[in-house]
């Protein structure tokens, strides 16, 4: 599998490729910027699911949003909340 194919697969379905957000951090095949994009994509999907659950959709899978945000924090040094819009998705 080519490196760009692996990156696109990771963006599309990071959980199946890594299992956990920590798996993204430990992966040696991607740059820091690619890891940030993968985690942001995964975080957006997780926050969308949380909004849907809040609105009544059933979900039996535990959320990984907290772990995703912690992994992102480790890579980026935190979120600039003064420049993050307030949304149900948390502005991620």
pLDDT on residue 58: 87
Assess if residue 91 is contained within a domain. Answer: no
CA distance 13 to 54: 23
Q: What is the pTM of this model?
A: 0.79
- Residue 90, Cβ neighbours under 10 Å: how many? 18
CA distance 32 to 46: 21
Read off the pLDDT of residues 31-66 as tens digits, 9 standing for 90 and up: 999 999 999 999 999 999 988 888 888 888 888 999
Per-residue confidence at 3, pLDDT binned at 50, 70, 90? low
pLDDT on residue 36: 96
CA distance 40 to 9: 14
Question: Under a CB-based contact definition with an 8 Å cutoff, are residues 34 and 11 in contact?
Answer: no
pLDDT on residue 92: 47
Assess if residue 12 is contained within a domain. Answer: yes
Q: How many domains is the chain partitioned into structurally?
A: 1
Assess if residue 19 is contained within a domain. Answer: yes
Q: Which domain holds residue 73?
A: 3-78
């Amino acid at each position: 599998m080519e490196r760009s194919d692996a990156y696109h697969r990771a963006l599309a379905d990071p959980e199946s490729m890594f299992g956990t957000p920590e798996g993204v951090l430990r992966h040696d095949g991607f740059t820091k910027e690619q890891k940030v994009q993968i985690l942001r994509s995964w975080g957006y999907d997780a926050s969308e699911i949380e909004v849907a659950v809040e609105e009544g959709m059933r979900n039996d899978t535990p959320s990984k949003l907290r772990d995703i945000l912690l992994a992102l924090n480790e890579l980026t040094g935190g979120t600039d909340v003064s420049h993050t819009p307030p949304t149900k998705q948390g502005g991620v």
